[in-house]
Structure 1
Amino acid sequence: MKTLKVLLSTYTGEKYLKQQLDSLLSQTYKNFEIIARDDGSRDKTLEILRSYDVTIIESKENLGVKRSFGKLLEYAIKDSDTDYIMFCDQDDVWEEDKLEKTLLQMQEMERQYSNIPLLVHTDLEVVDEKLNSINSSFMDFQKIDPSKNKFHNLLIQNTITGCTVMINRELAQKSLPIPDTAIMHDWWIGLVASKFGKICYVDETTIKYRQHADNTIGAKGFDIGFVLKIIFNKVSLDHNIHQAKAFLKQFENEINDETRQMLNEFISLNQKTYYQKRRILLKYKLFKHGFIRNLGLLIKI
């Protein structure tokens, strides 16, 4: 039987952690292991983890969420029996069929594609700290089109939320090491999947995505304030460029000439003139999601 590891990174998570762990243990699919790494909490987070059937990677070092998940991924892959991996945040609540539903889609993909990197992700329900619904669809809430998941799409804007993701062993191995200049672990893994494998989106919510004051990333509604910010604030692609540079360095010998040229031109964007920048974006279809975001991009870059 194939094995599944759920990777949980925690930091000062005592307020919501029990609820999340209970939702994991209530899954309809039971054949999985929870591997947790705490990022230096000073509250009762570790105490809570130790009260559950969880494998804990001992560490007192504070690495931040991206590097913490990177360490978890490295640990999981050292186990030769690991077939699938999922990522788990400390403050959400999983629907009881999340594992089962995602695994069924992964296995369907495996029947179509053998021995290549595979990624499955889903929608989320956006909820407040008391789990009251804010929006039944994260994708609708942020006006994101998950079908735009090609490599050139993901260079500009991420469509993949890590806490919904399942990846196979091939993608985990291909994604490591996650570079320090990757924007986030899920974004990096999505880029790797888009270039070397396949991505599948399940248009169902499998998780209650809790929003509260301490969210590392969080969900921002596409309201008038958000629209004005997009249009009038200066657009910086510096983080995207640094991530693209890391991708080129890591995979230069495995990509074709067209991809290499696109990455090199994108990386040089800040050295280009006003018109050259826009020519590069248009040439490679390096667009964000929706008219408003692209208007802001083309006006303010």
Structure 2
Amino acid sequence: MVINKETLQLVKKRIPDSLDKLIMHDWWIYLCTSSFGKVVFDPEPYIWYRQHQNNVLGGSTDGWVSKWRKRLSRFAKGKNRYILSKQAQQFIQLYGQDMSPQMYKDMDQFLDSYQKGVFSRMKYIWQSPFYRQSRLDNWIYKLVFVLRKL
């Protein structure tokens, strides 16, 4: 990830008191940038991906089946449950006053719908403006939202 000075200042402007409500630092930076700036994906790699021996997530050389087995295991053990909803709450607390009215409305509806009953969550998630990048991840995101484990 490469960021410019404006992005750095935006992220530093309001640093969360507790990092336990954030998924990962790069997700938080992406959320800030995509909300208030522009994200540019460059398909050309310029450096090797730096990977640590004991990475918890990311950079894994596991196959598809192994990656999903680990994901399901983390979910079954309760790890990373509720982290997306906590991160959304943290983001709206810190940056809500800077959001456009539509962005604030979208985030508020997300958080409000998440607290409602299963049928309200089902109705909301099918018309939600939020999504994951891959089709499979998007279906899982919707399912986890409906189960209220997001």
Query: TM-score, normalised on structure 1?
Result: 0.39
1:219 — aligned with what?
59
1:171/1:193 contact within 8 Å kept: yes
Q: Which residue of 1 aligns with 2:87?
A: 243
What do you get for the CA RMSD once the two structures are aligned?
2.8
- Structure 1 residues 217, 231: closer, same or farther in 2, change over 3 A? closer
Residue identity matched to 1:182: L
Opposite residue 40 of structure 2, the aligned amino acid is C
- Partner residue of 1:276 out of 107, 116, 120: 120
Q: Judge conservation of contact 1:244–1:263 (CA < 8 Å) in 2.
A: yes
Structure having the higher strand fraction is 1
| Match of residue 103 from structure 2 | 259
Equivalent runs, 1:1-301 vs 2, <5 Å: 165-176=1-12, 177-179=14-16, 180=18, 181-220=21-60, 221=62, 223-227=64-68, 238-300=82-144, 301=147
Whether the 8 Å contact between 1:231 and 1:292 is mirrored in structure 2 is: no
Q: Report which of the two structures shows the higher radius of gyration computed on alpha carbons.
A: 1
Q: Find the aligned partners of 1:222 and 1:275 in 2 and give their Cα distance.
A: 36
Using the TM superposition, give the Cα deviation of residue 285 of structure 1 relative to its aligned residue in structure 2, in angstroms. 3.1
1:209 aligned counterpart, secondary structure:
coil
Q: Decide whether aligned partners of structure 1 residues 290 and 230 sit closer, same or farther in structure 2, where only a CA change above 3 A counts.
A: farther
Supply the distance in 1 between the matched residues of 2:33 and 2:129 (Cα, whole angstroms).
19
Q: C-alpha separation between the residues in 2 aligned to 1:217 and 1:271?
A: 28
Counterpart Cα distance in 1 of 2:67 and 2:113? 25
Query: What CA distance in whole angstroms lies between the structure 1 residues aligned with 2:117 and 2:123?
Result: 10
TM-superposition CA deviations, 1:31-88 (whole Å, max 9, x none): xxxxxxxxxxxxxxxxxxxxxxxxxxxxxxxxxxxxxxxxxxxxxxxxxxxxxxxxxx
Gaps of 5+ in 1: 1-164
Kindly state the Cα deviation for residue 212 of structure 1 after the two structures are TM-superposed: 4.5
**Would you say how many aligned residue pairs link Structure 1 and Structure 2?**
137
| Structure (1 or 2) with the greater helix fraction | 2
Offset, 1:191: 1.2
Q: Which structure has the higher relative contact order (CA within 8 Å, separation 6+)?
A: 2
Distance apart, 1:225 and its partner CA: 3.5
Residue ranges of structure 2 left out of the alignment (5+ in a row): none
Task: Say which SS state the counterpart of residue 9 (structure 2) adopts.
Answer: helix
CA gap of 1:276–1:225, structure 2 versus 1, over 3 A, is farther
Percent identical residues: 25
Structure 1 counterpart of 2:23, which letter? I
Amino acid corresponding to residue 266 of structure 1 in structure 2? F
TM-score (norm 2): 0.72
